[in-house]
A = this chain, B = another copy of it.
């Protein structure tokens, strides 16, 4: 009896605020996206054509995957500037393995099969993340600095591996049994490019992790109130380390997709993509202070940026204006959020003011 009342009756009252807040924050990103689509749909008839939507979505996918990894880091209250370089590094590693590498101390050249290549690349990406994570969680180096250093190191290593060259000829060779890299990663199951599938899978997987697993709860907790989490026995340091690993893993995946997409492994791959990823996460309603943010919002954020940039190209806005507009949209998309919150606060105060005073000061004074 009390059971039911305790469980059923509140739903009506308390459920609302939960969704509302979430919706509002993401909602704003969604509004931005709708506006962008609407504007460009008017300005160009091609914008909404299915082929174009698919193409733009494929462009979004790369950034979205990076952004998902970045989201975890940001939920933890950190930041990862090294993802762009990690993309370059892992891509180069893949290219390096596919074209075959001399085994040390022997004259042999090894041609690992594609699945090995993929696993190794992802592992390298995760390793870079692990190093970031340890620097941040153990040595207590500010995430910004640790990952800034890694930004240079990873890019440098990528350049060293290729000596500045670009690896092509990634299709492999039946004799060597290392074919399939492109046929898989650049394929289009059901007419949908592979990267989009990856984005979908990652999105589902990571929102599962965030919403359904203990780790996800711990992550939000550490982001929201690290001390409370620690007192509740949450392995705060482990959580902090793993989010960077996740980010590195995502970067690795993007590195592979990018390489297959070109198809060529260039050490410059992914430059500056960290900024787009961060922008996507924040536009998607996450707080850089940590504890707030969702995969759904992040994906929307990625679409906002991608659809904007491509749209500007399609309607033929000059390269220079593209930059101005992109920057302005980032600021506005996040600004609306803040302004809105202030307005609600204002209106609350207004409401309080219209309430006519119940008792006059005198009355109380007399009472005293």
Interface of A toward B, CB cutoff 8 Å: 79, 135, 139-142, 144-146, 148-157, 159-160, 163-164, 275, 278-279, 282, 287-289, 318-331, 334-335, 338-339, 342
Q: Which of B140, B144, B153, B287 contacts A327 (CB 8 A)?
A: B153
In contact, A323 and B141 (Cβ under 8 angstroms): no
Ranked nearest first, the 4 interchain pairs of A and B with the lowest CB-CB distance are A152-B327, A156-B323, A156-B324, A149-B331
Residue among A319, A322, A335 with max Cβ neighbours from chain B (10 Å): A335
How many whole Å from A46's CB to the nearest CB in chain B?
25
In contact, B334 and A282 (Cβ under 8 angstroms): no
In contact, A140 and B338 (Cβ under 8 angstroms): yes
Residue among A135, A155, A289, A330 with max Cβ neighbours from chain B (10 Å): A330
In contact, A156 and B330 (Cβ under 8 angstroms): no
In contact, A156 and B321 (Cβ under 8 angstroms): yes
Main secondary structure of the interface of A (DSSP, over half): helix
Q: Which of B287, B323, B339 contacts A155 (CB 8 A)?
A: B323
Residue among A160, A163, A289 with max Cβ neighbours from chain B (10 Å): A160
Q: How far is the CA of A328 from the CA of B149 in the complex (A)?
A: 6
Chain B residue with minimal CB distance to A267? B320
Residue among A149, A154, A282 with max Cβ neighbours from chain B (10 Å): A149
Instruction: State the copy count for this chain.
Output: 2
How many whole Å from A304's CB to the nearest CB in chain B?
13
Q: Which of B144, B149, B321, B334 contacts A141 (CB 8 A)?
A: B334
How many whole Å from A140's CB to the nearest CB in chain B?
5
Between A and B, 10 residue pairs with Cβ closer than 8 Å are: A135-B331, A139-B338, A144-B288, A145-B334, A149-B327, A149-B334, A150-B331, A152-B327, A152-B330, A156-B323
Residues from chain B with Cβ under 8 Å of A154 in the complex: 327
Residues from chain B with Cβ under 8 Å of A156 in the complex: 320-327
Residue among A79, A289, A323, A338 with max Cβ neighbours from chain B (10 Å): A323
Residues from chain B with Cβ under 8 Å of A329 in the complex: 149
In contact, B135 and A320 (Cβ under 8 angstroms): no
In contact, B320 and A148 (Cβ under 8 angstroms): no
In contact, A145 and B324 (Cβ under 8 angstroms): no
Residues from chain B with Cβ under 8 Å of A331 in the complex: 135, 141, 145-146, 149-150, 153
In contact, A338 and B141 (Cβ under 8 angstroms): yes
Residues from chain B with Cβ under 8 Å of A142 in the complex: 282, 287-289, 334
Chain B residue with minimal CB distance to A336? B139
Q: How far is the CA of A312 from the CA of B326 in the complex (A)?
A: 37
